Structure 1
Amino acid sequence: MTAGSLATPDSLALPDAAAQAHSGFVRLHAYWLARVSDGRLPGRAQIDPLEMPRDLLPHIVLFEVVTAADGARRYRFRLMGSAIAAIPGRDDTGRFYDETIAPDLYRSRGAGLDAIVASGRPGYAASAHAAPDREHIHVGRLGLPLASDGRNVDMILGILLPLPRPD
């Protein structure tokens, strides 16, 4: 969300029909949306894992937005749910996202995170996800912007959920 602008109901809607059809995405979005107030995005202080649907917690990720002096952004894992950590077989909490995946893959995923930061709107993507020593799995990713000042996105609350394999 650009500084000075406020969120509108249309700008905060789930961005994709596939996300709208999955109860996990719908429930996390509803939790987040209930914390939007007067057109201002919720901040990390308004997010309480004890109030989230318990079955979603293993699938939650929290990214800190780290912006360099030149404006380049990086994303640090502040929380990585156990179901997400199980995919690569490690917990990357505290590490930068770009240090944990291949550069070509990070370019597309980082661009998705950049879009959430720039727009202040939820973002959604679905794709195959590599899992070491296993078949690829199909997952959906929903990112929800958080802003400690209500406007400038400084964290992203995310969820990664398995989806049925596309034909």
Structure 2
Amino acid sequence: MARARELLDVVGDDELRRMLEYWLSIHPGRCLPSRRDFDPAAVPHLLGRMALTDVEYDPIRFRVRVMGTGLTAAFGRDLTGRYLHEAIPEFEASYTCAHRVEVAMTGLPGHCAEIPAVPFRIDFAASERLYLPFSSDGAGVDMMLTMTTFLADRATLSPFAGRSGPPPAVS
């Protein structure tokens, strides 16, 4: 919970910050919120920029349950029902994958601003992304909501953007 509150000061995009505030409002104390706690009607204007993925383990992988229309347009195809590592050849070596794995393993929300390794159809310099974990049992992450904002200026990137390997640890 403390990390999520700290992220409020780090997230640059106002709508990403609103989504994080909403996630905090449905967070039931020490447990992770479940997908049932999330009400899409509470944030209808943000849905197009979201993707909801199932998290599977052993091996860890991510299947897109639903992909917002804005992301579908930016990506050039709808990945609903597909595993990210199968749909995107560069995925497993990407910073995006490393962030998803970190969120799945720690149960802590994640944030990054980067120049993505995966190709998009729209013209942009960078993206800012929020990763929010959900749990059906309150402990293990089995779903993840991701929200993306496309940035026009590289100056808004975080200091670790563009590095290869896993994201830096945030205590």
TM range (shorter): 0.7 to 0.9
Structure 2's unaligned 5+ residue stretches are 156-171
Conserved? CA contact 1:121–1:145, under 8 Å: yes
The offset of 1:128, in angstroms, is 2.3
Deviations 1:128-148 (A, max 9, x none): 24323x534411110001011
2-side partners of 1:18 and 1:82: how far apart?
26
- State the TM-score, normalizing by the size of structure 1: 0.82
1:119 and 2:106 matched: yes
- State the TM-score, normalizing by the size of structure 2: 0.80
1:43 and 2:5 matched: no
Percent of residue pairs identical: 29
2-side partners of 1:101 and 1:83: how far apart?
18
Letter in 2 for 1:111: A
84, 88, 93: which is aligned to 2:75? Answer: 88
1-side partners of 2:10 and 2:144: how far apart?
20
2-side partners of 1:33 and 1:16: how far apart?
10
Q: Which has the higher contact order (CA 8 A, sep 6+)?
A: 1
User: How do 1:70-109 and structure 2 match up within 5 A?
Assistant: 71-103=58-90, 106-109=93-96
> When the two structures are aligned, how many residues end up with a matched partner?
153
Deviations 1:56-90 (A, max 9, x none): 111011010012xxx22110001100010001211
Conserved? CA contact 1:43–1:148, under 8 Å: yes
User: How do 1:16-35 and structure 2 match up within 5 A?
Assistant: 17-19=9-11, 21-35=12-26
Q: Partner of 1:3 in structure 2?
A: none
Q: Partner of 2:167 in structure 1?
A: none
Letter in 2 for 1:42: P
Structure 1's unaligned 5+ residue stretches are 1-8
The offset of 1:152, in angstroms, is 0.6
